[in-house]
C-alpha cells in the first residue's frame, strides 16, 4: 500500500496568510535542563498550513469544525490536474471528465510547486476556484473540495463577497486548503483527513493522507 502525506510541515517561517503569525514552538520543559520529559507550547492560527474550513469560517452561526461530518473527511477521492491559465471554472470542469459519482475532489495546480521551497513568502498570485466552479461542485453534491494553496478563493475583484467560500460552505461542503500535491499524480485515491477537533473552531490544521488504490 502506497500512502502519500499531502500535509505541509508546520514550522516557524512557513508561508501564512498576511497578518497571521506562523507557528511558534516554545520549550516548556526540557530533559537537558533536568526535566523528566520534553514538552513545548505551540501557538498558531487555526488556518495555518494544511487546514480545513468549516461553514462558520464565512457564515456566522453555521457549523463549527468539531461538527464536520466524518463521512466527508474519509473516503474515495479524485485528484484532478489543472494547468490552464486563470482560475478553475465550471466550463473547465465540464471538460475535465470528472466521474458523476465523485464526492471528494482535490485540485493539483501550479501552486504545488511552491511547496518545494517550504519558507517561500506568501504570494497572492495563486490558482483557485472561481464562483462558477464552486456552484458546479454544489450542483454535483460534492462533500469535500481541496486546493493546493492557502485559499480556495481567487484574489482580486473576483473575491468580492467571497462567493467561492460562501457557495461551498453554504452547501456544507468541507474545504481543505494548503494541500501539498507536488508529488501526487492525478487519479483515484482514498482520502483520510484528520482535522484537529477544536470546540467551536472556525478552522483547524489537518494531517491529510492519500492512499493509492
At 1 the pLDDT is 86
* pLDDT given for residue 118 in this prediction: 85
Judged by phi (left if over 0) then psi (alpha if -120 to 50, else beta), residue 177 lies in beta
Judge whether 192 and 38 are in contact, CB under 8 Å. Answer: no
With contact defined as beta carbons under 8 Å apart, do 211 and 181 qualify?
no
Q: How many domains does the chain have?
A: 1
Q: What is the domain range of residue 204?
A: 3-8+45-212
pLDDT of residue 21: 87
In a domain, residue 31? The reply is: no
Residue 158 confidence (pLDDT) = 84
Residue 13 lies in a domain: no
Whether 36 is covered by a domain: the verdict is no
Cβ(104)–Cβ(77) under 8 Å? yes
Q: Is residue 161 in some structural domain?
A: yes
Catalytic residue among 47, 57, 87, 165: 57
- Residue 30, domain member (yes or no): no
CA angle 183, 168, 100 (to 5 degrees): 70
* pLDDT value of residue 119: 87
Separation of alpha carbons 33 and 29, rounded Å:
8
Which residues of the chain fall below pLDDT 50?
Answer: none
- Residue where the block lists cell 516548556: 28
Reference 210, options 74, 45, 114, 91; nearest CA is 74
pLDDT for 159 equals: 87
Has residue 29 been placed in a domain?
Answer: no
Identify whether the C-beta of residue 27 lies closer than 8 Å to the C-beta of residue 42: no
Does any domain span residue 32? no
CATH number at residue 144: 3.50.30.50
Active site residue 47: no
Residue 47 has, within 13 A of its CA and on its CB side, a CA count of 18
Establish if 27 belongs to a structural domain. Answer: no
pTM of the model: 0.96
Amino acid at each position: 500500500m502506497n500512502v502519500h502525506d499531502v500535509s505541509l510541515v508546520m514550522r516557524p517561517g512557513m508561508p501564512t496568510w498576511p497578518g497571521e503569525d506562523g507557528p511558534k514552538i516554545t520549550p516548556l520543559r526540557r530533559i537537558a535542563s533536568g526535566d523528566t520529559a520534553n514538552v513545548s507550547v505551540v501557538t498558531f492560527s487555526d488556518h495555518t498550513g494544511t487546514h480545513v474550513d468549516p461553514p462558520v469560517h464565512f457564515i456566522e452561526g453555521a457549523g463549527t469544525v468539531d461538527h464536520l461530518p466524518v463521512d466527508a473527511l474519509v473516503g474515495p477521492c479524485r485528484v484532478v490536474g489543472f494547468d490552464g491559465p486563470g482560475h478553475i471554472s465550471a466550463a473547465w470542469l465540464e471538460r475535465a471528465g470528472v466521474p458523476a459519482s465523485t464526492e471528494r475532489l482535490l485540485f493539483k495546480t501550479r501552486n504545488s510547486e511552491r511547496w518545494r521551497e517550504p519558507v517561500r513568502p506568501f504570494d497572492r498570485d495563486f490558482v483557485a476556484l472561481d464562483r462558477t466552479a464552486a456552484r458546479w461542485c454544489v450542483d454535483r453534491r460534492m462533500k469535500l473540495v481541496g486546493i493546493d494553496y492557502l485559499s480556495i478563493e481567487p484574489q482580486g475583484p473576483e473575491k468580492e463577497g467571497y462567493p467561492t467560500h460562501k457557495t461551498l460552505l453554504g452547501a456544507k461542503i468541507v474545504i481543505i486548503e494548503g494541500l501539498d500535491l507536488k508529488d501526487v499524480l492525478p487519479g483515484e485515491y482514498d482520502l483520510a483527513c484528520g482535522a484537529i477537533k477544536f470546540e467551536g473552531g472556525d478552522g483547524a490544521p489537518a494531517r491529510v493522507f492519500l492512499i493509492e488504490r
